[in-house]
Chains A and B, each alone.
Chain A
Amino acid sequence: MPETSSSPEITPEVVRHLSELAKIQLGEDEITLLTADLGQIVSNIAKVSEVATPDIPATSHPIPLQNVFRPDVVGDNVLTAEQALSGAPEQFEGRFVVSAILGEEQ
């Protein structure tokens, strides 16, 4: 059952930093809520370290397959440029349009 105590590691500053890493802008109210939620969640899931001793190998994939290759030829599922651009919010002359990469401060 969930413990109610929250993790001391999760502060609003940590959440603000994570939101920058994750590229999600968050309002102050969202940061407050997420700090509390994450604190509770982390205190519940941190127990994985109790049994994860150094002798246990990590499993990244449930049924690992090795060397999944294909012939080095054009596949049968290649999108045309038109298809690739079909969902883009903005395009110009066959290219994706993005805003400035660098801001004034850079």
Chain B
Amino acid sequence: MTQTDLTRLSAADLSAKLASGEVSSVETTAAHLERIAEVDSEVHAFLHINARAHEVAASIDARRAAGEELGPLAGVPLAIKDVLVTTDMPSTSGSKILEGWMSPYDATVVARSRAAGLVPLGKTNMDEFAMGSSTEHSAYGPTHNPWDLTRIPGGSGGGSAAAVAAFETPLALGSDTGGSIRQPAHVTGTVGVKPTYGAVSRYGAIALASSLDQVGPCSRSVLDAGLLQDVIAGHDHHDSTSLPDAWPSMAAAAREGATGQVLKGLRVGVVKQLQGEGFQTGVTQRFTESLALLEAQGAEIVEIDAPHFEYAVAAYYLILPAEASSNLAKFDSVRFGLRVTPEGGGTVDHVMAATREAGFGPEVKRRIILGTYALSAGYYDAYYGSAQKVRTLIQRDFASAFSRVDVLASPSAPTTAFRLGEKLEDPMAMYLNDVTTIPANLAGIPGISVPNGLAPEDGLPVGIQFMAPAREDARLYRVGAALEALVEDQWGGPLWAQAPELRAGKGVN
């Protein structure tokens, strides 16, 4: 196979070829590193490339040659969002305050990926501390959408999604606090899953908002995401919010779903509040078409009223900043990261304030100040307390919905990828990008975004989101894979086959 062919293969296909010996991990890894060298100066999905990737791949090949029994993803390349700490590569969370910082331990998801034989290619770009919907808040410059380099790749996990979309890696790890896996998947024509809260360990994920954060997979197919979730999910005693549940195989669920049988009699709820005004025409059109496809296969479409969803964004932008202001207090210039000493010295208080001024970007400052306000005396009940009550109301809306339907569906985001710079100066407009994804985080339930076409008006990717009750991640993989099979049948192949060719050295801006 040529190097280009290797970068187009799914993780599932690579897995089969690696197992049969048709290709080696060294060849596969080299092909992806070559692709990164060709296109990443334009895409900027990576903040750091693993200098030892070749060595790791060679060791997997040697173990396989020695007859060792290896997991299905052994030898398959993996990109890691920079929010996840790694011992062999810097972990910055997209911030200057952690520039060059080396973690003394691996995040659990990283350790499990290594143990499964995945080959870490590098660390991916993100909005600073995962605060943003476009990667424009990265301290290291934005990532560009491979479908149109003048547009955003989504955020905060735009680097992971763009790396997958640009064939720099078949798999990537992301984190989703309010949509940071699903919204980038939507705008890059890829698949992204936010598992049930607690399904995947957050140990070693640099915390943004601890009651919302969840780690999950990014890929170009539902099956590939399932293969990766099978590697990273499961109880971890290092994370006290980790669920003790035993999980069924998500890959098996995806394979079962692809047969389409799951759609017969499936009740699909469509949330009234997650469509209509504010949604781009092409996004709505593709959503409606997907519902018709599901219906034609025997699914029943049910309209759902979720009256409190309209308060979700407001509640989220109180809860998240409040938790973030507390989590980010650890960047105090003492134990790790940057230290800036004001001219003429100063007390530890002065050093801390000067360090945080220099080390944090504008969005991080905005959210810390907002969170500090929401938690301050006299405002706590009106803001943070009320937001927590809204959370209860949203959970009740979901409970009521799931008493009537098996899954909920919505467009994954209101619009296709907007232009870099377009919303940077308007924080509230940026926050509203997450209107479709935030409710799942507030309720802790799983969500998946699956590509369902290109918007006719701009030719850019669109995704459909499915949500299921907590712990029903497998249901999402079944339904997601079923829809994926239907749309790919219509297109005669995956959506990524329609992506424009990225050429080395092709100038933008």
Contact = CB atoms under 8 A, between A and B. Distances in A.
Interface string A50-65: 1111001111111101
Given A25-B357, A51-B311, A98-B348, A38 B369 contact: yes
A15 B385 CA distance: 21
B196 interface: yes
A2 B431 CA distance: 10
A99 B391 CA distance: 42
Contact of A86 (B104, B334, B356): B104
A1 interface: yes
A30 B348 contact: no
Contact of B341 (A21, A79, A99): A99
Interface residues of A, number: 61
B443 interface: yes
A74 interface: no
A27 B315 CA distance: 29
B369 A103 contact: no
B429 interface: yes
B360 interface: yes
B201 to A, nearest CB: 12
Contacts of B431: 41
Given A24-B356, A99-B341, A48 B105 contact: no
Given A24-B356, A48-B315, A100 B348 contact: yes
A46 to B, nearest CB: 7
| A interface: dominant SS | loop
Interface string B335-362: 1111101000111111111101100101
A81 B385 CA distance: 40
B211 interface: yes
A89 B314 contact: no
Nearest to B442: A62
B243 interface: yes
A47 B444 CA distance: 22
A101 B243 contact: no
B91 to A, nearest CB: 10
**Interface range on chain B: under 10, 10 to 19, 20 to 34, or 35 or more?**
35 or more
A99 B351 contact: yes
Contacts of B427: 37, 40-41
Interface stretch (B157-165, B185-193, B234-242): B234-242
Contact of A68 (B240, B332, B337, B373): B240
B325 A89 contact: no
Given A63-B198, A65-B243, A99-B348, A56 B393 contact: yes
Contact of B369 (A34, A60, A84, A98): A34
Contacts of A48: 311, 314-315, 318, 383, 386-387, 389-390
Interface string A68-106: 101000010101000110111110000010111111000
B52 to A, nearest CB: 19
A89 B333 contact: yes
Contacts of A50: 311
Contacts of A56: 389, 392-393
A23 B113 CA distance: 37
Q: Pick from B362, B388, B444, B470 the residue with the most CB of A within 10 Å.
A: B388
Contacts of A2: 428-429, 432
A50 B238 CA distance: 39
Contacts of B443: 62
Contacts of A79: 104-105
B356 A62 contact: no
Contacts of B353: 19-20, 23-25
B240 A77 contact: no
Contacts of A49: 382-383, 386
B366 A34 contact: yes
Interface of A: 1-2, 10, 14-15, 18-27, 30, 33-34, 37-38, 40-42, 44-53, 56-63, 65, 68, 70, 75, 77, 79, 83-84, 86-90, 96, 98-103
Interface of B: 101-105, 196-198, 211-212, 237-238, 240-241, 243, 278, 308, 311, 313-315, 317-318, 325, 329, 332-339, 341, 345-354, 356-357, 360, 362, 365-366, 368-370, 372-373, 376, 382-383, 385-393, 395, 427-429, 431-432, 441-445, 470
